[in-house]
Amino acid sequence: MQHHLSQSIADFLLCQKIINKKEKEIYIYGIQLFLSSIVNLLICITISLLLDELANGILFFVLFSSLRRFTGGFHCKTFIMCNIVFSMIVTFVLLVNRFVGNIFGELVFFIATVFFCFMCIWLFSPVYNKNKKLTNIEIKKFKIISIVVYMIHIFFYFLILIIFNYRLNIILTGDLIVVFMILLGVVNNKKL
């Protein structure tokens, strides 16, 4: 359905002479990414509202999207399965954050989590994806951006902690999920 809708929009743009025939496939792909992002945002907002966790849900979506965009990781084979998995991830993250997020208050666990996430991002990102092959220059660029984005997340965590004396544990929980997706992607690639 998503591909069909993207194709129809691209055909419309082609008929209106907004794009040319050579650009059509690129526009179809771009429209699919846009639609996927909108659907994921709506899924996240819906689940967040149902769990009375809207602020954490939106923050998770922004943080997850900003980091995963550059790290890559496990990808589902279909749009429907991707939405189901993303729904489970959002639900899991919000519930874990609510019920066990305070574990990050323990300094040892906090340091171990930050170090573990950093090492996984440094060692494994960006994860190879046969549908999005990167040049060596892009691989280096995405690795650096992944590390920088992760460090911005940690800086933001500390900034909120220092200014408001509040542990925004959704940042750590979300980053752990991105790392889990990285590791799943690496394992999945080894099976291929």
| Assigned token pair, 151 | 């460090």
Query: Is the alpha carbon torsion for 162, 163, 167, 173 positive or negative?
Result: negative
Query: Is the alpha carbon torsion for 131, 137, 140, 144 positive or negative?
Result: negative
Tens digits of residue pLDDT in 136-161: 999 999 999 999 999 999 999 999 99
DSSP state of 44: H
**Model pTM score:** 0.86
Q: How far apart are CA 28 and CA 33, in angstroms?
A: 9
Q: How far apart are CA 138 and CA 126, in angstroms?
A: 9
Task: Name the residue with tokens 């509202």.
Answer: 49
Tens digits of residue pLDDT in 51-72: 999 999 999 999 999 999 999 9
